[in-house]
Structure 1
């Protein structure tokens, strides 16, 4: 057979081999994080409980449940590729002896230092349980609790709802979404968005390095700071608002005839104020539209907003 004929045959065989390898790898990856094991544990507590959760990777869900009982459900995942050896013995050991310890009213879920193994947790606790979490990578969902919360994830989203205690929420590279939060909240994201809905009482502190901040339904004091993102706020003041963004826009919407003192300044943008508000400002309005200072409808709590290279809109 001539070399000219051999070349197409070799090319076809090479393409077939690559296609087969891709299929095998795809199948292995589809099963790479399958559930390999599970466990359930129940603990009895008297009075207030404290829950600590430490994970390398894996999602965490904590919900309010019956008084006096902490119920933990764990799903063990093996994240190995097809060329690695089995992990069955390690999975079975975790099923028999999960990393959970109780001391009186305190329950601690500890790190799992096993390569390519992670655990997802779903936990029901009494509503007045104090919760502290530390996760290297994984999402956290916390809801229906009334005590203080200290939440932290290195690279994962935080989803919070129906909470009445003091909330501290921090994520390195993830988003924070919170709704129906009654108490004070501090939300910090290194590179992610922060969204807060239906905030009632208590101060709000929100900071993101490179993401947007959106707060709807606020009725308390506010400090919001975005490094490279927009800040959007809607609600009524019951305290001062301080808003900063270095390379993004700031948009504020208040109730009709709201009384407040306004300090709005932008370095290289424009201050845009609704005509009905502009007409009632008692103070200084620069012609360049980069600075407005004055009392609106007689004045009230202070709104101090500053942008570096973005516009300011007040409605």
Structure 2
């Protein structure tokens, strides 16, 4: 075999080996088993501020008793073939959990140990303000009423019965929020966003690739997706704007709602099941792709545009 062929085969084998190694490393923590555990109970007086930072691991926060924040950490070690014996490091974390308290300010910090992750189960008073940041991992938050700020690079976010200023961002993952009260912003690089509002508040939803569904909106709305469908129902107390590059848009509004309407589709049909006082612009045969006018005398503007997809306003 020629030296050129040998070099080519060696390079190809090296590339395949690197890819395989990368995949194994990426999945090592995902398949990690629990190797340790710690618990901590912290006393607070009045409203608290809780911050949770983790490179890899799930975070669950639920409302609990007033005056106490309880923290349980489940320590996981990845595939030992890569990380070696981690017993000493796990024991060090158990003795010295990465938790700091200064008055009512609680900070759970990153763990600086390779191939080790921590899942957190936390209970806190409902009036605790929450901020979390995770490189990868799911986040579940329930019953917190003082606002949240969530950021995860990769992972799903599940929220229930929340109030205050709500901010959620995930690079790759789905966002689900039920029983949200107050203004809400959610952004996903790739993933579906599903929310249900139970009180007044402006809503802003954005995903690069995924579907958006918003129920019970009572305020302003901004919803956009590069590729996916958008479905919204609610009351347009302020202006609504819906954009989708590729996908259908469906809005359901109260039959007595009054609003200004501006809807169009570059490649698709437009259907409006409300009495619209309108002036057709351009050729009559093009009017089914664009409708502008006033419904019941007009009100907050509802603007819906899709590049490729149908628009329906019920």
Same fold (TM over 0.5): yes
Rounded to whole Å, the distance in 1 between the matches of 2:83 and 2:245 is: 48
Superposition pairs for residues 199-210 of structure 1, below 5 Å? 199-210=198-209
Between structure 1 and structure 2, the one with the greater Rg is 1
1:300: how far off?
2.1
Superposition pairs for residues 165-176 of structure 1, below 5 Å? 165-176=164-175
Per-residue deviation, residues 102-126 of structure 1 (Å, max 9, x unmatched): 1111111010121111000011111
The CA RMSD over aligned residues, in Å, is: 1.8
Task: Look up the match of 2:276.
Answer: 281
Rounded to whole Å, the distance in 2 between the matches of 1:60 and 1:216 is: 26
Rounded to whole Å, the distance in 2 between the matches of 1:284 and 1:99 is: 64
Per-residue deviation, residues 258-277 of structure 1 (Å, max 9, x unmatched): 22211101122211223xx2
Shift in CA distance, 92/30, structure 1 to aligned 2, threshold 3 Å: closer
Q: Structure 1 unaligned runs (5+)? A: 1-24
Rounded to whole Å, the distance in 2 between the matches of 1:309 and 1:30 is: 40
Rounded to whole Å, the distance in 2 between the matches of 1:271 and 1:84 is: 58
Contact 1:187 1:205 in 2 (8 A): yes
Contact 2:173 2:188 in 1 (8 A): yes
Q: State the aligned residue count.
A: 284
Task: Look up the match of 1:6.
Answer: none
Contact 2:239 2:301 in 1 (8 A): yes
Superposition pairs for residues 126-205 of structure 1, below 5 Å? 126-205=125-204
Task: Look up the match of 1:58.
Answer: 57
Rounded to whole Å, the distance in 2 between the matches of 1:150 and 1:31 is: 25
1:84: how far off?
4.8
Contact 1:32 1:81 in 2 (8 A): no
Task: Look up the match of 2:259.
Answer: 260
Contact 2:83 2:115 in 1 (8 A): no
Shift in CA distance, 30/195, structure 1 to aligned 2, threshold 3 Å: closer
Paired residue secondary structure (2:92)? helix
Rounded to whole Å, the distance in 2 between the matches of 1:236 and 1:107 is: 39
Paired residue secondary structure (2:91)? helix
Contact 2:61 2:121 in 1 (8 A): yes
Contact 1:186 1:206 in 2 (8 A): yes
Task: Look up the match of 2:95.
Answer: 96
Tell which deviates more after alignment, 293-302 or 186-195: 293-302
1:241: how far off?
0.7
Per-residue deviation, residues 194-218 of structure 1 (Å, max 9, x unmatched): 0002442110000001111101122
Rounded to whole Å, the distance in 1 between the matches of 2:101 and 2:73 is: 16
Rounded to whole Å, the distance in 1 between the matches of 2:68 and 2:293 is: 55
Q: Could you list the runs of 4 or more consecutive aligned residues of structure 1 that deviate by over 3 angstroms after TM superposition?
A: 29-32, 81-84
Q: Structure 2 unaligned runs (5+)? A: 1-23
Rounded to whole Å, the distance in 2 between the matches of 1:175 and 1:31 is: 18
Rounded to whole Å, the distance in 1 between the matches of 2:256 and 2:66 is: 46
Task: Look up the match of 1:247.
Answer: 246
1:47: how far off?
1.7
Shift in CA distance, 104/270, structure 1 to aligned 2, threshold 3 Å: same
Contact 2:133 2:150 in 1 (8 A): yes
Which one has a larger percent strand, Structure 1 or Structure 2? 2
Contact 2:29 2:115 in 1 (8 A): no
Tell which deviates more after alignment, 283-292 or 79-88: 79-88
